[in-house]
Amino acid sequence: MKSTITGTSYVSIALTSWDEVKKANGLTAAPVSEPDQTEPIGGYPKLSNGEMIALIQAWKRAAARSRIPTWGGWYELTLDALGWHAPGDRFKDAQADARAPVDDATVRLFWTSVASLAGQLDAAKTVIRPLYIDWSYAGFEAAAREAWRKMKEEGGSASAGPAPASAPEPASESAGSGLLIVLLLAAWATSRRKKG
């Protein structure tokens, strides 16, 4: 299954993708927060490994359209979703693995990374194009092959070699990307209230 998300900015596309995932998981609460909070009310939308990889691939393509440096975070997040954490690990790319839930810390890192990327794309005045998301298992497998090729290029392999660099938490998270996503969500909620 594939879907297309459009918007007037990459921030609005990010918020729509957030909304789509919440709806798909049976959640209807709007992602709003108080101005002084650094986390959205109700937390970040949960994802399966397959959902996260589908969104990673879509955002990676969006980043490739920009003058900003490519989105390096895609690789570490993809490896995490594929179960690669240390040398000797093997990719977990069966359909059951694609349906398995992503841990809360990685979900948080993913959504804050997307919020940051969307803000950078808008700041760089990147031409706004729809986000095309391939939710299929074939898309999950293709992303696994791409990550494996990148790992091979870096001198490792999917069954041995150096552990990939982990995606670190931002140093000033309380005033960083967590706050960015809260501000984006507050703006989104305000615009929804004006329309409704």
E strand or H helix at 2, and its extent? strand 2-5
pLDDT tens for each residue of 73-131: 888 898 899 988 877 788 888 889 899 999 888 988 998 899 889 999 999 898 899 99
Spatial neighbors of 125 by CB under 8 A, at least 6 apart, are none
* CB-based contacts of 151, cutoff 8 Å, min separation 6: 79, 157, 158, 161, 164
Contact 73, 44 (CB under 8 A): no
Task: Quote the pLDDT of residue 57.
Answer: 92
pLDDT surpasses 90 at 17: no
pLDDT surpasses 70 at 33: no
Summary mean pLDDT of the chain:
74
* Predicted local confidence at residue 41, as pLDDT: 60
- Residue pLDDT, tens place only, 71-82: 778 888 988 999
CB atoms within 10 A of CB 85: 12
